[in-house]
């Protein structure tokens, strides 16, 4: 899954200069048996040269045909409205994952997400390598004047990522948005928008690429319901509850997320030979 935003720092140059990549080894925000986020392989390529660059508008050269430029007017209102509220300036271009410019094309998912058996995906967000919201992570990218671009997950909408120049109050240089897809939630498209050009290691190469590898990840959260119906009472040191309808596999293991319940102050059987009912039970 690649986000590409292309600078045209060479006069008249029509090809790409900026590539920012979301790490394909995507993380999840919680650890369970089956909750997963998987990159689909669809890229987001934004070419900063004048006019739209995509398979339909610019079928050749290949460096333009694989771009995903889309008119700024197509930005989701949730994204554009929030960027206005954040004080973003005038955007120079936008792109959508998998967008080709063909009539009726609406882009494609950049990733898919699946929940544990019996659970439901409730949230998708931009996170760092630990699963936390990005809060000033250095992107490794700079503005043309050499200012470091820092990454922040929007605190009002964690589907929005902004790259700011120098600090949390710096100008927004670029932004990205996860458009959640599926009912129930099962994936997302990624939109990008850029406000000012970036500095590149090789300014003479129109296809010079920089990226966000190991900087930006996709996080997912899920909800699972557990029922205490028909649970025996009063004599157990602990009880394990699974999600509704869960059954054991061929190895006798129950897939999906489970919880273990104990009394408030249960007996430590490693330190005492007393009956378990001498302490709190369930």
| Pair (77, 67) in one structural domain | yes
Q: What is the pTM of this model?
A: 0.78
Contact 164, 171 (CB under 8 A): yes
Residue 46 shares a structural domain with residue 156: yes
Domain extent at residue 164: 2-223
Last residue of a domain, one of 205, 223, 241: 223
CA distances from 24 to 63, 103, 109, 113, 233 (A): 22, 30, 14, 13, 47
Report the range of poorest mean pLDDT among 13-27, 50-64, 74-88, 218-232.
13-27
| Distance in angstroms (rounded) separating the CA atoms of residues 177 and 126 | 9
Look at the block and give the residue holding tokens 């490794």.
Answer: 140
User: Which range is least confidently modeled, 61-75, 94-108, 176-190, 233-247?
Assistant: 233-247
Give pLDDT tens digits for 47-73.
877 889 999 999 998 878 988 999 999
- Where among 197, 223, 249 does a domain terminate? 223
pLDDT over 80 at 214, yes or no: yes
Provide the pLDDT for residue 228: 67
Residues 199, 275: one domain? no
Question: Does residue 275 share a domain with residue 173?
Answer: no
Residue 158: count of CB within 10 angstroms of its CB: 19
The answer on 253 and 196 residing in a single domain is no
Task: Tell me, yes or no, whether 138 and 73 share the same domain.
Answer: yes
b/e for 20-46, b at 16 or more Cβ within 10 A?
A: bbbbeebbbbeeeeebebebbebbbbb
Q: Please tell me whether residues 130 and 212 are part of one structural domain.
A: yes
The domain boundary, picked from 173, 194, 223, lies at 223
Q: What is the pLDDT of residue 279?
A: 79
- Specify whether 161 is located in the same domain as 232: no
Of the two residues 12 and 57, the one the predictor is more confident about is 57
85 and 202 co-located in one domain: yes
Cα separation, 73 vs 185, whole angstroms: 26
Of 115-124, 202-211, 265-274, which range is least confident?
Answer: 202-211
Residues 209 and 240 both lie in one domain? no
Whether 122 and 260 share a structural domain: no
Residues 205 and 254 both lie in one domain: no
**What is the total count of domains within the chain?**
2
């Amino acid at each position: 899954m690649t986000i590409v935003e292309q600078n045209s720092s060479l006069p008249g140059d029509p090809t790409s200069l900026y590539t920012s990549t979301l790490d394909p080894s995507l993380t999840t925000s919680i650890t369970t048996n089956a909750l997963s986020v998987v990159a689909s392989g669809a890229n987001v390529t934004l070419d900063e040269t004048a006019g739209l660059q995509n398979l339909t508008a610019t079928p050749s050269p290949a460096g333009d045909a694989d771009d995903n430029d889309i008119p700024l007017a197509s930005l989701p209102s949730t994204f554009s409205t929030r960027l206005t509220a954040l004080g973003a300036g005038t955007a120079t271009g936008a792109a959508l994952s998998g967008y080709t410019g063909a009539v009726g094309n609406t882009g494609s998912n950049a990733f898919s997400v699946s929940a544990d058996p019996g659970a439901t995906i409730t949230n998708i967000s931009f996170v760092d390598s630990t699963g936390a919201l990005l809060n000033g992570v250095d992107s490794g990218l700079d503005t043309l004047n050499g200012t470091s671009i820092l990454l922040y997950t929007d605190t009002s909408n964690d589907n929005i990522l902004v790259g700011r120049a120098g600090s949390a109050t710096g100008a927004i240089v670029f932004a990205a948005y996860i458009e959640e897809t599926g009912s129930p939630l099962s994936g997302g498209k990624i939109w990008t928008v850029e406000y000012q050009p970036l500095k590149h290691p090789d300014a003479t190469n129109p296809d010079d690429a920089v990226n966000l590898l190991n900087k930006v990840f996709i996080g997912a959260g899920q909800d699972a319901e557990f029922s205490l119906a028909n649970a025996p009472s009063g004599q157990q040191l602990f009880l394990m509850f699974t999600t509704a309808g869960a059954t054991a596999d061929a190895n006798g293991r129950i897939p999906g997320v489970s919880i273990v319940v104990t009394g408030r102050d249960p007996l430590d059987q490693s330190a005492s030979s007393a009956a378990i009912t001498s302490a709190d039970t369930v």
